[in-house]
Amino acid sequence: MKTVTFNELKDYRRTLLDVDRQVFDTVQTIIEDVRKNGDAAVKKYTKKFDTPNIDDLNLVVSRREIDDAIKYVESEMAEVFRCFLKAADNIEEFHYAQKEESWASSSRKNICGMLILPIERVGLYVPGWKGFYPSSAIMNIVPAKVAGVNELIISTPPDKEGKVNPLLLALADRLGADRIIKAGGAQAIAAMAFGTESVPNVYKITGPGNSYVTAAKRLVSGVVGIDSLAGPSEVVVFADNSANPEWVAIDLCAQAEHTDDTTSILISTSADFIAKVNAELDRIIPSLERSDIIKKSIETNSMAIVVDTIEDGFDIANRIAPEHIEIMLNYDEEKALNMVKNAGAIFLGHHTPVAVGDYYYGPNHVLPTNGTATFSSPLGVYDFVKRTSFMGVTSEYLKEHGKNIETMANFEGFSAHALSVKVRREV
């Protein structure tokens, strides 16, 4: 892992996600086809990309398929199923604390306030067999259901035989999904955005996907809401000599094993500690299952930054605005927490690796990437609600304040606005 100094990174800037023009054009064609031709187009692309041997795929997963999947999972994957359901309980408990309540304020028979209303229908995209991560499905389903979403549509690519991952079916059914669609890629996003004969149109789409899914979400944004346009995963580990260099090295590898474009950054006040971590990386990487991916990620996208002070370390961490930051310092944790201004999720102390949050403890692991933690937040209950203001005033209120409203409206050139108040005020 290459080492740089704080001064070399004072002007650290994250580059914007590049858009592959060819991917973008392909996705645009697929979206238009689905918008115009509905199920027929979705089936056409599903056959082309996922189920070449099936001529007529039923896009909606049947109740029998779900029941068979549950029997299989409870028989063959009982321990895994139990762990994911326990994690879902923890995640649900955490997200209930995020719920907002509608409120109203009244004065002299005048009233105003805010209604907090769940989005009625949401679509969740779940990658297929090779890239299926049950934890990500849970992290999207749970806050949606806690928010009170009335109808949750899941879309996921089938395998060549037209089957959907049984663990996804079992989890989705247990957690309250209403309909599961056998479709992936841009065609799935288009189907959920515009609606087809089998797929109801949704009002927001969440969930991770490949570059085609991301491009599709970008294109339908505005027609529907989306959660985010996620980039490669990233972690900053801020550690000093009080940390265990082996643990730090493993945590860097854990992030690097996602994809070979993942960013893993070590910040330390000790060049000697960085050297120890590098030695541990050399020892550990060859023994890991995804060693080729980790090695490329560490060599091409990662770095160690030596800083003179704790304050400099937090300064550069805030400039990076990482998806995850682990803090392993001989330093007051509350003070450290208050020094982090930009991060998707913060992991405090020597015994809190990212994996605890990724899977189990409760906070959501769908986090802002690519520096967007400077302005955005983890996925949460608040992403599945909308806010509607309301007000009601009396004739007395208009007699007292109406002239002010008329003056403002006339100044901006909206005489009808002013008149709508005047005719009521003069009664």
Angle between helices 39-49 and 21-37 (to 10 degrees): 140
Residue 140 corresponds to which tokens in the numbers above? 């999207």
Three-state secondary structure call for residue 101: coil
pLDDT band at 12 (very low <50, low <70, confident <90, very high): low
Closest to 81 (Cα-Cα) out of 71, 95, 91: 71
Q: What is the CA radius of gyration of the chain?
A: 26
Angle between helices 415-425 and 395-411 (to 10 degrees): 160
Q: Are 324 and 369 in contact (CB under 8 A)?
A: no
105-152 pLDDT per residue, tens: 999 899 999 999 999 999 999 998 777 889 999 999 999 999 999 999
Residues whose CB falls within 8 Å of the CB of residue 241, separated by 6 or more in sequence, listed in order? 270, 272, 273, 330
CA distance readout (Å), 404 to 75, 198, 411, 415? 71, 53, 11, 13
Q: Are 273 and 363 in contact (CB under 8 A)?
A: no
Residue 384 corresponds to which tokens in the numbers above? 């599945």
Question: Which pLDDT score is estimated for 3?
Answer: 87
For residues 243 and 337, give the distance between their C-alpha atoms in angstroms, rounded to a whole number: 17
What is the widest separation between alpha-carbon atoms in the chain?
Answer: 85
Secondary structure element (H or E) that encloses residue 5, with its range: strand 3-5
Is the pLDDT at 200 greater than 70? The verdict is yes
Q: Which residues are catalytic?
A: 323-324
Question: Which pLDDT score is estimated for 11?
Answer: 58
Closest to 144 (Cα-Cα) out of 135, 132, 153: 153
E strands of 88-188, at which residues?
103-107, 110-118, 121-125, 151-156, 179-182
Amino acid 425 reads: R
65-118 pLDDT per residue, tens: 999 999 999 999 999 999 999 999 999 999 999 999 999 999 989 999 999 999
Q: Phi then psi for 266, rounded to 5 degrees?
A: -105, 125
Is the pLDDT at 314 greater than 90? The verdict is yes
Instruction: Say what the pTM is.
Output: 0.92
Question: Which pLDDT score is estimated for 1?
Answer: 85
Q: Which of 102-116, 128-142, 283-297, 312-326 has the lowest mean pLDDT?
A: 128-142
Residue ranges and CATH numbers for the domains of the chain are 3-16+231-361 (3.40.50.1980), 21-226 (3.40.50.1980), 393-425 (no CATH)
Question: Which pLDDT score is estimated for 283?
Answer: 97
Question: Which pLDDT score is estimated for 409?
Answer: 98
Sheet holding 385-392, edge to edge: 103-107, 110-118, 385-392
Distance from the Cα of residue 108 to its chain's centroid: 44
For residues 179 and 173, give the distance between their C-alpha atoms in angstroms, rounded to a whole number: 9
Question: Which pLDDT score is estimated for 16?
Answer: 46
176-199 pLDDT per residue, tens: 999 999 999 999 999 999 999 999
Closest to 161 (Cα-Cα) out of 259, 314, 53, 244: 53
Residue that wins the pLDDT comparison between 259 and 251: 251
Looking at residues 9-29, what average pLDDT do you find?
A: 73
pLDDT band at 18 (very low <50, low <70, confident <90, very high): low
Residue 4 corresponds to which tokens in the numbers above? 């740089």
CA angle 142, 173, 133 (to 5 degrees): 60
Question: Which pLDDT score is estimated for 376?
Answer: 94
Residues whose CB falls within 8 Å of the CB of residue 221, separated by 6 or more in sequence, listed in order? none
